[in-house]
Amino acid sequence: MKEIILIKDGELALKGLNRSTFEDMLVKNIRWRIKPFGAFDFKKSQSTVIVTPRNDEADMDSAVDEISRVFGIAGYSRAAVTDKNMDKILEVAPIYLKDQLLEAKTFKVNAKRSDKKFPLKSPEISATLGGKLLECFPHLRVDVKNPDIIVTVEIRDEAYIRGNQLKGAGGMPCGSSGRGLILISGGIDSPVAAYMMAKRGIELVGIHFASPPYTSLRAEEKVHDLLSKVARYSGRIRLYTVPFTEIQELIRENCPEEYFTIIMRRFMMRLSNMLAHNTDCHALITGESVAQVASQTMLALGCTDAVAEFPVFRPCIGMDKEEIIKISRKIDTFEISIQPFEDCCTVFTPKHPKTRPQLPDVVEAEKSLDIEGLCNRAYEGIKQILITADGVENA
């Protein structure tokens, strides 16, 4: 029995004259993501992408699992393909959907007849197939409002038979909204922010700040593990790790303690500006949530953003910790985030941080530092790796 995957592309249908561009990008992303699982052909038709294996060697289970995490997909389902013949549809449907129908108690049949030359109209197709399924599965009853399974028959160039459509990852195809630089730590929030912006079509580049010996190699590996989880949705992520020890030590030695964290974050923004310019990124992304900690008050965020040269996206800004944790569990980053390996954000944390800083005071507090020289030296020490869903691809 021939089997395909039907993919519904959701909000791409709202893109008007640009729709085909977004659909092409979605197909490109799907093609790349399922390439390891066999050879497939792709066809676009009426807000649907039809994925057809070229031979029996294709791993359909793995392909479908991968498709479930591709952004830009509203729904997906496996479907049997047969001739546009009602007798053939009645023969194939009970066999193909047997396991699903045995588990269900109620069902209904939907028919979609794109080919108007088909001799039966949609209500007739539904009634005829519904009768056949009741005959084959007498435990079933019809429920048109809230059925356990919706059996759908689509009459196109061939007849497609499927059960319930599964919910896709939603959002926009990765890369369709440009490229953004995610400031990634080992905490709970920044991987969630990365996931949320990737869902809106942003291709991710990562920047991480390491402060050995205050932070360990295991802390860096923790970040790799977190981004590997995000990469299951976003696709591969190039990560740049910046040596930050000298900057943090000089902040500690030369700046008022209550401004340590704000000045540190301003340096992170400056270095992120430099990397964003060199990697064709058009926005910076952080995991900050307003008032979650002392350095994330509105005034503190304003002092940080004063040195940003790009828009700063904070998708978690209005969320409380439980909401963020819920998403982190969904994308399987929570258990990694709570591992006890400190990142540079926890190094030299002031006892009494300034919660209502004024920008002139912050600028005055960091005047003793050679800002340009510190940034240039740190930038020269950057190292990069490529992270995929399978881990670190190359160093």
Q: What is the 3-state secondary structure (H, E, C) of the chain?
A: CCEEEEEECHHHHHCHHHHHHHHHHHHHHHHHHHHHHCCEEEEEECCEEEEEECCCCCCHHHHHHHHCCCCCEEEEEEEEEECCCHHHHHHHHHHHCHHHHHHCCEEEEEEEECCCCCCCCHHHHHHHHHHHHHHHCCCCEECCCCCCEEEEEEECCCEEEECCCEEEEECECCCCCCEEEEECCCCCHHHHHHHHHHHECCEEEEEEEECCCCCCHHHHHHHHHHHHHHHHHHCCEEEEEEECHHHHHHHHHHCCHHHHHHHHHHHHHHHHHHHHHHCCCCCEECCCCCCCCHHHCHHHHHHHHCCCCCCEECCCCCCCHHHHHHHHHHCCCHHHHCCCCCCHHHCCCCCCCCCCCCHHHHHHHCCCCCHHHHHHHHHHCCEEEEEECCEEEEC
pLDDT band at 138 (very low <50, low <70, confident <90, very high): very high
Please check the confidence at residue 81 and state whether its pLDDT lies above 70: yes
Model pLDDT for residues 299-357, shown as the tens digit of each residue = 889 999 999 999 999 999 999 999 999 999 999 999 999 988 776 666 667 677 777 88
Q: Round the average pLDDT of the chain to a whole number and report it.
A: 92
Q: Which of 47-56, 271-280, 339-348 has the highest mean pLDDT?
A: 271-280
pLDDT at 297 (0 to 100): 86
> 115 pLDDT exceeds 80?
yes
**184-208: average pLDDT:** 96
Q: What average pLDDT does this structure show over 15-26?
A: 81
Please write the tens of the pLDDT for every residue from 351-381: 777 778 899 999 999 999 999 999 999 999 9
pLDDT at 326: 97
Q: Which residues pair with 77 in a beta bridge?
A: 6
Q: How confident is the model at residue 172 (pLDDT cuts 50, 70, 90)?
A: very high
Confidence band (pLDDT; 50, 70, 90) for 248? Answer: very high
Q: What's the pLDDT score for residue 43?
A: 92
Q: Average pLDDT, stretch 115-128?
A: 93
pLDDT score, position 164? 96
pLDDT above 70 covers what percent of the chain?
96
Question: With pLDDT > 90 as the criterion, what percentage of the chain qualifies?
Answer: 79
pLDDT at residue 395 above 60? no
- What confidence tens digit (pLDDT) does each residue in 259-269 have? 899 999 999 99
| pLDDT of res. 215 | 86
**Predicted TM-score (pTM) above 0.75:** yes
